[in-house]
Amino acid sequence: MAGKSSPALPGEQTLPLLRRLWREHIHHYRLRLVGVLVLTVLMALSQAVYPAVIKIAVDMFARQDSRILYQVPLLVAAVTAVRAVTWYYQTVSLTQVVLLVIRGLQERMFAHLTRADLARVEREPPAMLATRFTTDATTIREALGRAINGISDVVTVIGLVGWMIWDNWLLSLIAAVLLPVAGVPIQRIGRRLRHASGGMQEEMGLTAAMLNESFSQARTVRAYRLEAPEIARANGAFDRLYRALMAMTRSRSRLDPILEMLGGIAVALVLSFAGWQAARGGGGIGDFAGFVSALILASRPLRALGSLNAAVQEGLAGMVRVFTVIDEPATIADRPGATPLPAGQGRVEFADVHFSYPDGRVGLDGLSFVAEPGRTVALVGPSGAGKSTALALIPRLQDATSGAVRLDGADVRSVTLASLRDALAYVGQDALLFDDTVASNIRMGRPGATQEQIEAAAQAAAAHAFIKALPAGYDTVVGTAGGRLSGGQRQRIALARALLRDPRVLLLDEATSALDAESEAEVQEALARLRRGRTTIIVAHRLSTVRDADLVVVIADGHAVEQGSHAALMERNGVFAHLVHTQALAQ
């Protein structure tokens, strides 16, 4: 079931987050941003010119000035044209900068997760991680766009307020009194909205993870008649998401009514005072029309500035979650002074290896064995004995707690990850392929390989014939997880990938246990060719695999309890013989 991930860091403050975003991402696009700001100011100033145009038009109308027929339309057309052109280019330029920043965050986060410890990636469901790139990125994008557009609103308000002060300072003073009053509720609502947004994003991720899990287990749900419990579980997730969305909606929805009410009060007071002035014979109709126009025009940018804090707080909640992922340190990394893997023939040694999981469970407890170059070693034992854990330590998917795993005399923790993993190839029980062409999936074994090399690897893996029979041959797209191919076909493509890599050491997590007899025979034939002349370590579940091994290592409770050939271990009549007799190893 999908687990709940760590919440957003409550101690993160706004200014440090914004400084970091500027330093690490926005700073690279500062010249583009300058262009955006220039366009933003021009667009805002063109908006602020409208009250002056209205004043001129009203005064001309009152005087019955014939120039109103051509001067005012030309002036309006000019101001509108400037605003329209600057608006278009400002919108496009702003979106480009924001999307570049978001792309940088996404690329950085994906690169970090791709290189992160396997345990970290497996800690959260894939759908939960995906929300960092979708939901969180969306909130950050919207916040950045609103923040930069806020500059336009500020310039617009400054221009309109300047006009109002020049036109009638006393009326401007009345309108300005309410601004500090609005700041207090806006600030409080913003803090609540940041907390509510973080909860909403969390629930969105959990719901996506639950749906992904449920749909991927569709066969199990129907076979065990779990429809009702799954529907109940989904309804619970939808209900929690509904409550989280409503909490955010309640906080967000308070802003506009408050700003609307304060704006209405300001307009009412201004109109009342202006009426009193007019009754006493003060001010012309053009001045009054221009001032009221400026006040009404200022209401939109003022309202946008009032809600800006709420949008920024939502973006900050997403930013905290993104930076939390980026900042997680990787424990599986090149150590200081790491050197390339020395040349060798693929000798693998486990020397008193211990491994404990983060929760304290013991995975390996003093495992020791040696896989000599060019030999095949089979790791067998009951479920949970530590076989797959041992296999994962060789490419450093995990690191031993103590002891040493050595490849050609070098501790795998002392060499560079790149050189270590270039010397290895792994084929698992579930050969999941990428949603790409057959050729691309094979080429992953050696990027840059030619088509001839790819086809040679496919022939060695007994895959060439069925690939050529596919609709587009090697250019056939295999579908999500290789779903358009059979299990045996996927496995042979995975073997072709390993063959193309030409590894020093081959790691197999029993690549045939999930196949039917016909497919298994074809894959076993390909495996025999793949194992020839290179060290092979197999997590074995089938007796046929064990019989072909040069050395069988029986693991129980995290350490080797027996070692020897299949025949020698059967004669000993110990743990291995018991596994065979009880059919723990399949025939």
Per-residue pLDDT at 280 exceeds 70: no
More confident site: 195 or 144 = 144
Secondary structure of 222-284 as H, E, C letters: HHCCCHHHHHHHHHHHHHHHHHHHHHHHHHHHCHHHHHHHHHHHHHHHHHHHHHHHHHCCCCC
More confident site: 577 or 63 = 577
- Residues 197-249 have pLDDT tens digits of 666 667 777 777 777 777 666 666 666 677 787 788 878 888 887 887 777 67
Q: How far is Cα 298 from Cα 294, in angstroms, rounded to an integer?
A: 6
* pLDDT in the model for residue 315: 81
- Mean pLDDT of the 488-507 span: 88
Q: Is residue 394 part of a domain?
A: yes
CA distances for 407 relative to 110, 264, 330, 367, 421, angstroms: 30, 77, 22, 15, 11
* pLDDT in the model for residue 414: 94
Per-residue pLDDT at 433 exceeds 50: yes
- Residues 66-100 have pLDDT tens digits of 777 767 778 878 888 888 888 888 888 888 888 88
Q: Is residue 514 part of a domain?
A: yes
45-49, 245-249, 275-279, 508-512: which has the minimum mean pLDDT?
A: 275-279
Q: Is residue 496 part of a domain?
A: yes
Q: b/e map of 374-412 (b: 16 or more CB within 10 Å)?
A: ebbbbbbbbeebbbbbbbbbbbbbbebeebbbbbbebeb
Per-residue pLDDT at 505 exceeds 90: yes
Could you tell me the pTM of the whole model? 0.69
The domain spanning residue 208 has which CATH number?
1.20.1560.10
Q: Do 444 and 523 fall into the same domain?
A: yes
Q: Do 312 and 378 fall into the same domain?
A: no
Q: Do 315 and 355 fall into the same domain?
A: no
Backbone angles phi and psi of 92, in degrees to 5: -65, -45
| Reported confidence tier of residue 191, pLDDT bands at 50, 70, 90 | low
Per-residue pLDDT at 5 exceeds 70: no
Q: Do 498 and 386 fall into the same domain?
A: yes
Per-residue pLDDT at 453 exceeds 80: yes
Q: Is residue 97 part of a domain?
A: yes
| Reported confidence tier of residue 157, pLDDT bands at 50, 70, 90 | confident
- Mean pLDDT of the 379-398 span: 89
Residues near 551 by Cβ (< 8 Å), separated by ≥ 6?
369, 371, 372, 375, 376, 377, 378, 563, 564, 565
Q: Is residue 341 part of a domain?
A: no
Number of H helices, E strands in the chain: 23, 10
* pLDDT in the model for residue 277: 63
* pLDDT in the model for residue 283: 56
More confident site: 141 or 412 = 412
* pLDDT in the model for residue 266: 65
More confident site: 559 or 204 = 559
Beta-strand runs (E) in 459-530 = 505-508
Q: Is residue 586 part of a domain?
A: no
- Mean pLDDT of the 445-462 span: 89
Residues near 320 by Cβ (< 8 Å), separated by ≥ 6?
8, 9, 12, 17, 198
- Residues 289-323 have pLDDT tens digits of 666 666 666 666 766 666 677 777 778 878 888 88
Secondary structure of 175-213 as H, E, C letters: HHCHHHHHHHHHHHHHHHHHHHHHHHHHHHHHHHHHHHH
Q: Is residue 5 part of a domain?
A: no
- Residues 525-548 have pLDDT tens digits of 777 777 777 899 998 877 767 888
Per-residue pLDDT at 403 exceeds 50: yes
- Residues 465-478 have pLDDT tens digits of 899 999 999 999 99
Per the structure, the complete domain to which residue 383 belongs is given by: 348-581
* pLDDT in the model for residue 82: 86
Per-residue pLDDT at 393 exceeds 90: yes
Per-residue pLDDT at 328 exceeds 80: yes
Q: Do 364 and 455 fall into the same domain?
A: yes
In angstroms, how far apart are the furthest CA atoms of the chain?
Answer: 119
Q: How far is Cα 378 from Cα 387, in angstroms, rounded to an integer?
A: 10
Q: Do 399 and 442 fall into the same domain?
A: yes
Q: Do 317 and 355 fall into the same domain?
A: no
CB 30 within 8 A of CB 149: no
Per-residue pLDDT at 11 exceeds 60: no
For CA atoms 58, 63, 66, 67, the dihedral sign is negative
Q: Do 307 and 357 fall into the same domain?
A: no
Q: Is residue 335 part of a domain?
A: no
* pLDDT in the model for residue 454: 93
Q: Tell me the chain's radius of gyration from C-alpha atoms.
A: 34
Q: Do 205 and 286 fall into the same domain?
A: yes
* pLDDT in the model for residue 9: 39
More confident site: 572 or 300 = 572
The domain spanning residue 405 has which CATH number?
3.40.50.300
494-508, 529-543, 551-565: which has the minimum mean pLDDT?
A: 529-543
Q: Do 251 and 355 fall into the same domain?
A: no
Residue with tokens 């999941």: 432
Q: Do 320 and 352 fall into the same domain?
A: no
Q: Do 284 and 362 fall into the same domain?
A: no
* pLDDT in the model for residue 412: 94
More confident site: 440 or 546 = 440
Backbone angles phi and psi of 448, in degrees to 5: 95, -5
* pLDDT in the model for residue 7: 39
Mean pLDDT of the chain: 79
CB 436 within 8 A of CB 477: yes
| Reported confidence tier of residue 4, pLDDT bands at 50, 70, 90 | very low
- Mean pLDDT of the 244-269 span: 68
Q: Quote the tokens at residue 226.
A: 């779990």
More confident site: 361 or 150 = 361
Q: How far is Cα 323 from Cα 316, in angstroms, rounded to an integer?
A: 10
Domain boundary residue, one of 265, 292, 327: 327
- Mean pLDDT of the 416-426 span: 91
**Alpha carbon 79 to chain centroid distance?**
44
> Domains in the chain: how many in total?
2
CA distances for 150 relative to 40, 94, 395, angstroms: 9, 12, 51
